[in-house]
Amino acid sequence: MAVFVDSGAAAARLLNQNIDKTRTSDATQVIRRDAMTLGQAPGDGFDLIFLVPPYGIGLGAKSLTSAVAGGWIAADACVVWEDNTPQDPPTGFRLADHRRYGETHLTILFHDGSDGC
């Protein structure tokens, strides 16, 4: 199951339109929630997380901390974090790689206990 979390109405509409176009509604869920205050996960933790916070304002680490606290991130998870600069791993994560694509930086992290993704 793919789960998308975003607090914005426009983002939720776009996600739902794309889910409809790809006919994947049976395998996806859109949750409208602030990623910095996620609360409890709807099930088991996820093992692959794509994190795309608003660029350059430090929300990514706060979102990861919230996700860990709520059980959203499995012990063996891989996180692919997109931002406008390379990001340092927050507590509980270790750096696997930094990659740059033009102005976009991807920081790839492993949750402690993970052997990789």
Residues 90/76, Cβ–Cβ less than 8 Å? no
Residue 81 has which token pair? 């974090």
pLDDT, tens digit, for every residue of 84-101?
A: 999 999 999 999 999 999
Question: Binning pLDDT at 50, 70 and 90, where does residue 56 land?
Answer: confident
Distance between CA atoms of residues 105 and 116, nearest Å: 19
pTM more than 0.85 = yes
Specify whether the CB–CB gap between 74 and 104 falls below 8 A: no
CATH number of the 35-117 domain: 3.40.50.150
Q: What secondary structure letter does DSSP report for 40?
A: S
Q: Where are the domains of the chain?
A: 1-33, 35-117
Distance CA 37, CA 56 (A): 19
pLDDT in tens, 64-74: 999 999 999 99
pLDDT value at 3 more than 60? yes
Work out the angle at residue 46's Cα, subtended by the Cα atoms of residues 43 and 52, and round it to the nearest 5 degrees.
Answer: 120
